[in-house]
Structure 1
Amino acid sequence: MGKNYIKNIDLAEVLTMVDLVLYQDKQIVSKTLVQSSALSLTLFAFDKDEEISSHASDGDAMIIALDGEGEITIADEKFVVKKGETIVMPANKPHAVYAQEPFKMLLIVVFPQE
């Protein structure tokens, strides 16, 4: 058998992405699906009012909102993303995530390979 590159979820099975990470009271729950020098895939569930404070990444980071609503800050500009919406946080720009209500997202980060 070959090596699997996606972890922490069942393979060769139909899954509902939003159900793969569960809300927990006053917490941020994350589940890493891929972590490599080129790519990171992580599921997050934020309880209401939880946040990841401002930071920067050397890769472009795409959020796909799976449930609820989150406020995304990129540099000094605020955006609201709702279930089914997507936003990209450009590499090397400070960004933050705040859950205005319970919020689930898939975070995809693509890192430079030069």
Structure 2
Amino acid sequence: MSHVADLASLIDIQEEATVSRTVLREDGLRAVLFAFDKDQALSEHTAAMPVTIQVLEGRLRIGGGDRTVELTAGGIVYLSARLPHTVYALEPSKMLLQMFDNRG
């Protein structure tokens, strides 16, 4: 069993930056924390595996396919493998990205 008690405390928001930190790596799963200052973004990209994005603090706009959603703390979104998507911080924010590698 792997355990992380308080995800948000493991990463700090840095002025005018986006930072990330891998916090869990197990068979079929990788969990990465991201911290965004206001107006920071991840430009359009894809992932080779399905992912979830969960907002821990703040407010993010997530675009994927032809949809865009705004998420606040506690919100979560699922993105299928290879779906082009973006992340934009509407305010200083922290998120958990979980990548599910089911490629065998």
TM-score, shorter chain, exceeding 0.5: yes
Letter in structure 1 aligned against 2:21: K
Q: What are the residue-to-residue correspondences of 1:63-74 with 2, within 5 Å? A: 63-74=53-64
Is 1:21 equivalent to 2:11 in the alignment? yes
Q: What are the residue-to-residue correspondences of 1:92-111 with 2, within 5 Å? A: 92-111=82-101
**Max Rg structure:** 1
Deviations 1:17-65 (A, max 9, x none): 2111101000011111234673221011100000011111121110111
- SS at 2:90's partner residue? strand
Deviations 1:72-104 (A, max 9, x none): 000131111100111111111101100011110
Distance of 1:98 and 1:78 partners within structure 2: 11
Letter in structure 2 aligned against 1:24: Q
Q: What are the residue-to-residue correspondences of 1:20-99 with 2, within 5 Å? A: 20-35=10-25, 38-99=28-89
Q: Percent identity?
A: 33
Gaps of 5+ in 1: none
Letter in structure 1 aligned against 2:6: T
Gaps of 5+ in 2: none
**TM-score, normalized by length of structure 1?**
0.82
Distance of 1:36 and 1:56 partners within structure 2: 21
